[in-house]
Structure 1
Amino acid sequence: MGQKQQSTADPTAEPKKRRRVGFFNLDSGIEAKDCIKVYLVSSKEEVGSPDSFCIDPVDLNSFFDEDGKIYGYQGLKITIWVSSISFHAYADITFESTSDGGKGITDLKAALQRIFAETLVESKVDFLQAFSTGSNLIGSMISSGEILKLKASNGRVTDCNSDLKAAISDVEVVRMVVGKTAAGHLYSCLIPLVLLLVDGSSPIDVSDPSWELYVLTQKKPDQQGEIQCRVLGFSAIYRFYHYPDSSRLRLGQILVLPPYQRKGYGRYLMEVLNDVAVSEDVYDLTVEEPLDYFQHVRTCVDLSHLLVFDPIQHAVSSAVSRLKQGKLSKKIHIPRFMPPSSVIDDIRRSLKINKKQFLNCWEVLIYLGLDPVDKYMEDFVSIISSRVMGDIIGKDSGTNGKRVIEVPSDYDKEMAFVMYRSQVGEASDVQMDENQTNQEEQLRQLVDERVKEIKSIAQKVTGHRV
């Protein structure tokens, strides 16, 4: 049997080329905030102008897919204009090309509809025309509402700061019941700005008549001399029943449009809401999950009322005198400098400030009473530290506290403690877990932030006394 002969390779022949493997270029997408600009405009001349007011949304990414990215576009640019006259919106979308890079192509129209709904118009011509056809839209919608004026008799208007004086010169607050057609329509127009500018917000139920809309408006002549009614901001208030024959007001949303912020309008709106609570003798006025900046403004407003409220002066003086008596920072048990319960009840009945908010103001009142403040600052910080430490484990606003005591345990050394509630007025030291080495540092940071906030508020209410 013959053998199969092996072919001899030609040394001069070219080597075979290796096959190259190509890798698929997966589309990494672009974040919505990186390709979208939103402008608030009050005239057709401002559309496309470099002087247009650009607003900064809290979170655009949440409206685009699960990871907040836009896929399938190269060179994408989205410019959105929102009219402050009719609240219509128009989106100018440009891009170089589209291609499916493995994640599909984002439906931009559907995504923008999730924000702007029926206020989004497809034609730029229609958007520009709405500045003329919709110039009286806001005025017609609020015409059936109740105009509220800040009462000058309470002393808050004549002695207010310059920003607030400017704010109240040409504005009105109109109250509308959301369950009615006009109020529901107006709020629907405002929803896109609520979603864009209020962190964690969701629309209220416009069919529920317990919601009330307080709209801050201003009448200004346009370029043709026609008077236009503009919305500067608004607040949505829910009215709860309170047994037996009263109600409670809860502020669910408040927004001053970006061009009008930091000019006193928000404070004016809060003053009007306080007047409503007092004049209608509701049980109290509360706020649902206030943001830090709004809480700062709210506390300044409430303090301006508390500083001229005579029934509280004795309680503040007494607390300040106790603080000045000794070195609290050297004591093992630091007493809580709480106001009498009768004072807390009086504040709620007269000023409609709820307990939690009043206790927030109480620390500022004590700080304002210290003179010279530097001499007693160490003891004041000790009081804040004691209160913050108690709040970390859920102390009920300084009333009955909780105490933690370590006890022997053969079962689990990490769980060797007993917690019990102390009585009113009883010293309530809190033993922190020694295994958490950074807990003390976290506490110090919280105390520093609170003291800094108190100083800032104190400076504002004394430098701009209402």
Structure 2
Amino acid sequence: MALKQKGGESSADTKKKRRVGFASIDAGIDANECIKVFLVRSWDEVGATNISCVDPFDLSHFFGEDGKIYGYKNLKINIWLSLISFHAYADIAFESTFDGGKGITNLKPALQNIFGESLLEKEEFIQTFSTEIHYIRTIMSDGAVTLCDPLRKTDDASDTHINEDGSTMEVLRTALHNMPVGLLYSRLVPLILLLVEGSRPVDVTDPKWEIYFIVKKIQDDSGGYNMDLIGFATVYRFYHYPDTTRLRISQILVLPPYQSQGHGCRLLESIYSVALSENLYDVTVEEPSDYLQQQRVCVDTLRLLTFEPIMPAVNSVVQYLTDNNLSKRTGKSTRKSPFGPPRHVTGIVRQKLKINKKQFRKCWDVLIYLNLDSENSRCMENFKACVSDHVKDDILDKESESNMKRLIEVPNGYDHDMTFVVMWSEGGRESDGRDSKPEGDQAAQEEQLNQLVEKEMEDIVEIARKVSLRCE
């Protein structure tokens, strides 16, 4: 076979060969890897990347099923969000686009879904630092100053807290369906979406929604003052049969620069204060995160420590755990033991402190732990045994509830699709003799139970530590 020499190739052949190749494959880029959000207080910070950066919990769910952005090579998105007006500006930079930009589909719609109308062009965004410098102060002009928990006999129980720098902190409450307040909330929605996992905007047109703002008032050179927004909480007023109302906290967020300074606790205390002053039924939280739940238990335990009506019951349980040896008990449960709070005590706490039954049960364990002698090993073993019992009882109660009704798919002669029937199982169990479980499953369940108990103990000890620090 004769071989064609390289020098003998025609110009036409060379041209054809240059056109042959594989197109670049657009694998997409993870949204969390290319997007950064910066909080800014002045126009000259716009463009800087060495300032406070928001750490979103997850951006992927805004960008399709796989959480990736397609159509760009070496994409970088820097977003600056103003702490003055809560507008935003996005700087989108990339080296090139794939396929002439035809594959660009999900970037701009996704950013619009997050930031909405608050996303501005750069020039307009920079102007807001001067045109809306008093935006927060104007919105808050009609807000009602809310007291912190009036049961606390400290300076923190006042409606205004004075900082060392002379600025003051206040919690203001207002209706969310008020148009200017609703507009401010719409500008805060991006922070909710970025920082509160699983959160969705509330309906600002519903008159039952309220919003609590914690603000910082700062004196200016002219003798007036400006106002910074520190955090907020949205609260819904639910009807409670027969003739009262309960407050449900939906969202609570302290802005990143002000976190870990006690502002979230102050918001919680203010909400309790309203429930007490208006004699509402209680206060609940809608799907709290682990961190919020821990903070809430800490706040409620501090309130309970000074609530004298429950102390006899607390002392009775402490004495029981000190005097007895629960390792010698018989049976698998101590439902009749005096470890849990008596029913009448639960009722008093709900009525006087607006702490609901489920929440009080969590605080009760911490209260008991705080009053035990941590050096007494038998006492602490008794305490852990009781915690194990009520963790086990909680699991069994949930399983019982879930087993009472069953949905079973059955063939449908009328249509090819499956339908279902609801079957009520007596005692929450099937009666076909298949109740017994393999030994391996039982061992695995025991291991899972032990892990839950250890986690519960760790939480109790950590909350007790925080409560002790705040009591010092």
- TMscore range, shorter length: 0.7 to 0.9
Amino acid in structure 2 at the alignment position of 1:200: G
RMSD across aligned positions (CA):
3.3
SS of alignment partner, residue 142 of structure 2: coil
SS at match of 1:100: helix
Deviation at 1:294, TM superposition (A): 0.9
Closer, same or farther: CA 405–272 of 1 in aligned 2, 3 Å: closer
Between the aligned residues of both structures, percent identity stands at: 49
Worse overlay, 249-258 or 177-186: 177-186
Within 5 Å, give how 1:154-303 maps onto structure 2: 154-157=152-155, 170-220=168-218, 227-303=225-301
Aligned to 1:355: 357
| Secondary structure in structure 1 of the residue aligned to 2:84 | coil
Q: Give the aligned residue type for 1:92.
A: D
Which runs of structure 2 are paired with 1:393-432 in the superposition (5 Å)?
393-394=396-397, 411=432, 413=434, 415-416=435-436
Gaps spanning 5+ residues in structure 1: where?
1-9, 398-403, 418-431
Instruction: Please tell me the residue identity of whatever aligns with 2:387.
Output: I
Greater helix share, structure number:
2
User: Which consecutive segments of 4 or more residues in structure 1 shift more than 4 A?
Assistant: 20-25, 163-169, 221-226, 404-409
CA–CA distance in structure 2, aligned partners of residues 223 and 329 of structure 1: 69
Tell which deviates more after alignment, 325-334 or 222-231: 222-231
2:198 aligned partner, one-letter code: G
Q: Is the counterpart of residue 446 in structure 1 residue 425 in structure 2?
A: no
Give CA-to-partner distance per residue, 1:100-142, whole Å, 9 cap, x none.
39992234222110000000002x1211110110111111112
Indicate conservation of the 8 Å contact 2:162/2:169, yes or no. Answer: no
Deviations 1:280-336 (A, max 9, x none): 110001111111111111111111111111110010111111122222134333424
Q: What does the per-residue CA deviation read over 1:194-245, in whole Å, with 9 as the maximum and x for residues that have no partner? A: 1111000000000000000111111235799973211110000000122333
Matched, 1:388 2:377: no
Alignment of 1:58-97 (within 5 A): 58-97=57-96
- Give the 3 Å change call, closer, same or farther, for CA 197–167 of structure 1 in structure 2: farther
Whether the aligned pair in 2 keeps the contact of 1:408 and 1:416 (CA below 8 Å) is: no
After TM superposition, the structure 1 stretch with the greater mean CA deviation from structure 2, 175-184 or 345-354, is 175-184
1:255 maps to a residue whose letter is L
Which residue of the partner structure matches residue 8 of structure 2?
Answer: none
Residue 15 of structure 1, CA deviation? 9.2
Shift of 1:458: 1.0
2:325 paired residue among 299, 324, 327:
327
Q: Which protein has greater RCO, CA pairs closer than 8 Å, 6+ apart?
A: 1
State the TM-score, normalizing by the size of structure 1.
0.84
Q: Which residue of 2 aligns with 1:379?
A: 382
Aligned length: 429
Mapped contact 1:367–1:373 kept (Cα < 8 A): no
- CA distance in 1 between counterparts of 2:250 and 2:297 reads 17
- Cα 1:106–1:395 change in 2 (3 A) is closer
Alignment partner, residue 132 of structure 2: 134
SS of structure 2 residue aligned to 1:394 = helix
**Take 1:149 and 1:23, find their aligned partners in 2: how far apart are those partners?**
68
Distance 1:247 1:98, change over 3 A: same
Alignment check: 8 A CA contact 1:39 1:54 kept: yes
Show the counterpart of 1:421. Answer: none
Q: Distance in 2 between matches of 1:165 and 1:396?
A: 50
Distance in 1, matches of 2:139 and 2:157, equals 33
Which residue of structure 2 lines up, in the alignment, with residue 457 of structure 1? Answer: 463
- Give the equivalent residue in structure 1 for 2:35: 36
Matched with 2:9 is none
The 3 A distance-change label for structure 1 pair 285 and 297 is: same
Where do 5+ consecutive residues of structure 2 fail to align? 6-16, 401-425
The whole-number CA distance in structure 1 between the counterparts of 2:169 and 2:108 is 37
Shift of 1:276: 0.9
Contact persistence 2:149–2:272 (CA under 8 A): no
- Provide the rounded CA distance (Å) in 2 between the counterparts of 1:107 and 1:406: 48
Q: SS where residue 91 of structure 1 aligns?
A: strand
* In 1: Cα distance, 2:225 partner to 2:451 partner: 51
Conserved in 2, the CA contact under 8 Å of 1:284 and 1:353?
yes
Q: TM-score, normalised by structure 2?
A: 0.83
